[in-house]
Amino acid sequence: MSRINLDDFLDDGPDRILVLDTETTGLVGGPEYPGDTKHDLVVDIGICEVCFSAGTVKDVYSSVVGYDVDAWTEEMQHSWIFENTDLTLEKVACAMPFDEVRRQVERVVRGRWLTTYNVRYDLDKFLYREPWFFKGLFTECRDIMFSAADVCKLPLPDPRLETEFEKYRYPKLDYAYKKILGGEDPAGIEGTQDHRALSDAKVASHLMLRMYRDGLYDPMDLRGRHS
């Protein structure tokens, strides 16, 4: 029988949570079924660990994901990520191969509490699909973006889109970070989100930590997750 570490819990909730971010070749997501040829790939992955009791954010993992980019479509080779960040096709071609990155990430996240800023994207569209297959590997916590939406209260483009759990438009990460932290910059981005995985995971981590301290983030609140 495994032993429970009581230090990992505060008020019946996790004290340490992994915050993961991915950068991808597009918005379609991974393959939805065997042989699905219209899909995107994760090309950059970063993970931080937030400790609520200590009030800390720690870098845990970061890697570009290696692929044979010569086999990609022209659309993938000219993805937004390569046109708007310092990530290049050359870095992807020379990076650690996907299989090894997957093995390393699995070791990091297995059995942990984990969330992202937009779980429907990072998890549902990519890490829960082929070729990652991470469903059930860790325990999900509340999507940081859900709580940020409740704090920022940006109006929906159409009031008819409102549901029981989605009353506001989801804010972009950099907007929520600036607004909720009131101009403070513990992630050190100096006003500009660079859209690299570890940096964005760090921004999301500090955002989550601040909302938790202010009583605005409950990691165990999964309302609206599958609505």
pLDDT in tens, 35-74: 888 899 999 999 999 999 999 999 999 999 999 999 999 9
For tokens 């937004």, the residue is 80
Q: Verify cis geometry, omega within 30 degrees of 0, for the bond prior to 14.
A: no
Please tell me the distance from the alpha carbon of residue 183 to that of residue 81, in angstroms, as a whole number. Answer: 26
Q: Which two tokens stand for residue 83?
A: 């046109």
Across the chain, mean pLDDT equals: 93
The end-to-end CA distance of the chain, in Å, is 35
In sequence order, the 6+-apart residues with CB closer than 8 A to the CB of 4 are none
DSSP for 96-128, written as a single string: PBHHHHHHHHHHHHTTSEEEESSHIIIIIIIIT
Q: What is the mean pLDDT of residues 191-220?
A: 97
What is the distance between the alpha carbons of residues 132 and 22, in angstroms, rounded to a whole number? 12
Answer for the pair 193, 173: CB distance below 8 angstroms, yes or no. yes
CB of 92 closer than 8 Å to CB of 43: yes
Strands, sheet with 42-51, edge to edge from the N-terminal-most edge strand? 56-64, 42-51, 16-24, 113-116, 139-140
Query: Class assignment of domain 12-213?
Result: alpha beta
Q: What is the mean pLDDT of residues 213-218?
A: 98
The 10s digit of each residue's pLDDT in 122-170 is 999 999 999 999 999 999 999 999 999 999 999 998 888 888 888 999 9
Res 36: pLDDT: 86
